[in-house]
Structure 1
Amino acid sequence: MKASDQFLSVHPVLAVKDVIASIGFYVHSLGFTLAFADDKTAPKYAGIRRGNVEIHLQWHDASEWKHNIDRPMLRFLVLNTEALFDEYKTKEVFHKQTQLRETAWGTKEFAFYDLDSNGLTFYEDL
């Protein structure tokens, strides 16, 4: 087996201020399900899943948020951006600039931020 054949999936870990609030956002607003949590009442680490995508949410102390750092941007390849855009536009998750658009690099996409300013872009290839 070649080394390149070893990669099966990636589960990004997002830093969050409040794991319970983030679980609520991803489950109730974005349609994910809770995959696991390290504690039922006060989790510090949890995983959420939608389709083949799994994201881990990790609590970080408030002192770590004092410095203005770039937050990660996740890109989700989806089957139908228009249907997903329509699903999310009723969930009050978009910011003022969120729009469904075709790009010069051959995708149709839209983007917004989660509760902790982690960027989320949803796209399909044209």
Structure 2
Amino acid sequence: MLTDIHPKLPMRNKGVTRNYYIDHLGFKQIGTKDYDGYLMLKKDNIEIHFFEFKDLIPKENYVQVYIRVGSIDQFYQELLDKKIAIHPNGKLGMRPWGQKEFSLLDPDSNLLTFGQETS
């Protein structure tokens, strides 16, 4: 039986990735040991792992992760207040498939889309 999923995203620089997710998005580092070239972060019930890929070319990175959010308006406003860059084509809005969504790119151009179902 499946219970959880923890996507593994590429990162070029562990320090830059750690700082972006912790300082800007509110994640915390998890694990009892700090491994070279690997990073595990968590926020609420979301866990994302990162593997080192120094040769990653951000403009050629097509990794995408969809994260469900309980209070999307509040989370979006928190990011705007922190002056976090929202993807130019991913501002908060209703989508034809019934989700309220927005997107951003992390320092390695991993696309993070946050969505909340509306009723």
Name the residue aligned to 1:60. 53
The amino acid across from 1:58 in the alignment is F
The amino acid across from 1:48 in the alignment is L
1:80 aligns with 2:75: no
Secondary structure in 2 aligned to 1:57? Answer: strand
TM-score by length of 1: 0.83
Counting aligned pairs with the same residue, the percent is 26
Q: Indicate the RMSD between aligned Cα atoms, in angstroms.
A: 1.8
**In the aligned structure 2, how far is the partner of 1:114 from the partner of 1:60?**
14
Cα distance, 1:91 vs. partner? 2.4
Number of residue-to-residue matches in the alignment: 116
1:103 aligns with 2:95: yes
Unaligned runs of 5+ in 2: none
Identify the match of residue 51 of structure 1 among 31, 44, 47.
44
Higher relative contact order (CA 8 A, sep 6+): 2
Q: Deviations over 1:70-98 (max 9, x none)?
A: 42111110101100000111223224344
Give 1 or 2 for the bigger CA radius of gyration: 1
**In the aligned structure 2, how far is the partner of 1:68 from the partner of 1:55?**
21
Name the residue aligned to 1:19. 14
